[in-house]
Amino acid sequence: MADSRGEITKYTWREFDEDVEKIAAWALEKKFQGIYGVPRGGLILAVVLSHRLTIPQILSAEDITKTMLVADDISDSGKTLASLEARLGFRPHVATIFWHHDTSRKPDFSLREKKSWIVFPWEIE
């Protein structure tokens, strides 16, 4: 499908559920103490992973420590994650569903390369 944004990929709840399990399997081995969801795209992922991993969700970026995971839906340009890193003074562990090959901030764990505009199931079209 295409529109003014170019090619569009509709990411489904089923794909999300499958991807959460893969991210959770990776994260379980790391034994993170909490999870922070980057507003807005990472919030749903962080809530679901918080429950799946039975770790607290951190609501303020200032409370992120090196033992926590940062979740986001996509690392596109990398600016959001780079800004967060600059605010924290260290590079946090990051998991995303998608990443763009030109991102300035490659996540520690990501599942899918962004090749088109992504419409997530929680977004209003």
pLDDT 10s digits, 15-42: 999 999 999 999 999 999 999 999 999 9
Q: Which residues of 62-78 are buried (b: 16+ CB within 10 A; e: fewer)?
A: eebeeebbbbbbbbbeb
Any domain includes 124 = no
The predicted structure's pLDDT at residue 6: 75
The predicted structure's pLDDT at residue 1: 53
Phi, psi (deg, nearest 5) at residue 121: -65, -20
Tokens standing for residue 64: 């992120």
Integer angstrom CA distances of residue 6 from 75, 76, 81, 113, 116: 19, 16, 25, 16, 7
Any domain includes 76 = yes
pLDDT 10s digits, 67-120: 999 999 999 999 999 999 999 999 999 999 999 999 999 999 999 999 999 999
As for how many domains the chain has, the answer is: 1
pTM score of the predicted model = 0.91
Which CATH number characterizes residue 16's domain?
A: 3.40.50.2020
pLDDT 10s digits, 39-71: 999 999 999 999 999 999 999 999 999 999 999
Judged by DSSP in three states, 69 sits in strand
